[in-house]
C-alpha cells in the first residue's frame, strides 16, 4: 500500500513516524515546512509533492489546521483530488467542520474516491507515543480496510457513523476538554486564594470522581507554569468556533462552550494564542492576581 501524508505539524510529524514504525514503509510526505519533511524523510519516508501523492498513492491522509486548508489542498486549483484515481481513498485526520467534511466527500464521490473523516484527540504527547483516539466517519467497509493503518497512530479507533460523524464527535470532545480545563483552573485558583496548596488539592482529588485525563495532563502544567503547547489555544478556538457553528445550525444549546470560548479569545488577544490551552489559568491569574505556578 502506497500512502501519502500531507501536513507535518505538531501532530502530523510524529504521526508520520508512527506509520513508518507500524510497518507501512511506502510513505510519501509533503508540507510547506521543508525541515519537517526532511526530518521524516530521515526516518524512511519519501519527500514528495501533493501532485505526486495524488497520482501515485492508494490512500491520501491529511493533517491540516482547518476546513479552508483541507478544501484548498484537496479541491483547489491543482488540488490533490484532481490527480487521484477512482478506487483510491482520502482520510482527513484534521479537525474541521462536519459540514465541510460532507462537502468534500460529495466532491470526491463524483470522482470515484471514498472518504473517511478521522479527527484525533490526545495532543502532541499521544501523537508521539502512538496512542491517539480516532473518531471516524464513513462507510464500514472503508473503515475496516484502513483501521490497521490508523492503529499505527492510535490506541482507540472508533467508527461513529457516516462521513461527518467523526468531526461531530471531535467537536463534542473539544467542548468537554475546554470546559474541564476551565473548571480545573477555576477550582485550583479557589484553593490558592483560600490558602490551600493547589498541588495538594490535585493529589487529593485526582483519584476520585473529579479525576480525568484532562486533569492529569493539565494540572501539572498549570502548577509548573509550563505553557509549551501540546495543543495551542488558537487551535482550540478554531475547534470551538466549529462547535458553535454546528450547534447553531442544529439548534443545540451550548452556553458553557460560549463562555470558555470567550476566555480563550481573551487569551488570544493578550498574546496567548500560541500557548497551551492550560494557559486558561492565566485568565484567572489576571482576574485575581493569584498564580498557580509554584
User: Which residues are tagged catalytic?
Assistant: 170
Count CA within 13 A, CB hemisphere, residue 205. 16
What is d(CA 157, CA 164) in angstroms, rounded to the nearest whole number?
15
Contact of 250 with 213, CB cutoff 8 Å? no
Of the candidates 222, 214, 218, the one whose C-alpha atom is nearest the C-alpha of residue 189 is 222
CA distance 93 to 7: 10
Give the contacts of 230 (CB within 8 A, at least 6 positions apart): 123, 124, 125, 217, 276
Amino acid at each position: 500500500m502506497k500512502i501519502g501524508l500531507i501536513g507535518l505539524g505538531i501532530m502530523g510529524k510524529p504521526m508520520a513516524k508512527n506509520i513508518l514504525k507500524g510497518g507501512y514503509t511506502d510513505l510519501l510526505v509533503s508540507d510547506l515546512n521543508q525541515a519537517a519533511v526532511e526530518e521524516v524523510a530521515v526516518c524512511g519516508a519519501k519527500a514528495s509533492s501533493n501532485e505526486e501523492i495524488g497520482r501515485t498513492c492508494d490512500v491520501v491522509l491529511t493533517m491540516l489546521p482547518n476546513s479552508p486548508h483541507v478544501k484548498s489542498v484537496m479541491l483547489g486549483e491543482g488540488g490533490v483530488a484532481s490527480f487521484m484515481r477512482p478506487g483510491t481513498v482520502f482520510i482527513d485526520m484534521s479537525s474541521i467542520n462536519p459540514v465541510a467534511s460532507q462537502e468534500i466527500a460529495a466532491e470526491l464521490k463524483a470522482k470515484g474516491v471514498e472518504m473517511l473523516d478521522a479527527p484525533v484527540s490526545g495532543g502532541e504527547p499521544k501523537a508521539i507515543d502512538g496512542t491517539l483516539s480516532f473518531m471516524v466517519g464513513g462507510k464500514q467497509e472503508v473503515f475496516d480496510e484502513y483501521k490497521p493503518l490508523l492503529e499505527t497512530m492510535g490506541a482507540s479507533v472508533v467508527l461513529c457513523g457516516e462521513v461527518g460523524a467523526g468531526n461531530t464527535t471531535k467537536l463534542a470532545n473539544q467542548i468537554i476538554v475546554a470546559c474541564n480545563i476551565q473548571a480545573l483552573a477555576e477550582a485550583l485558583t479557589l484553593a490558592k486564594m483560600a490558602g490551600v496548596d493547589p498541588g495538594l488539592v490535585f493529589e487529593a482529588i485526582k483519584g476520585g470522581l473529579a479525576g480525568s485525563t484532562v486533569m492529569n495532563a493539565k494540572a501539572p502544567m498549570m502548577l509548573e507554569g509550563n505553557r509549551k503547547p501540546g495543543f495551542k489555544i488558537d487551535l482550540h478556538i478554531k475547534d470551538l468556533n466549529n462547535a458553535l457553528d454546528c450547534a447553531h445550525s442544529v439548534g443545540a444549546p451550548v452556553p458553557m462552550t460560549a463562555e470558555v470560548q470567550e476566555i480563550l479569545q481573551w487569551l488570544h488577544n493578550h498574546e496567548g494564542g500560541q500557548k497551551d490551552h492550560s494557559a486558561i489559568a492565566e485568565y484567572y491569574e489576571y482576574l485575581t492576581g493569584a498564580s498557580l505556578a509554584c
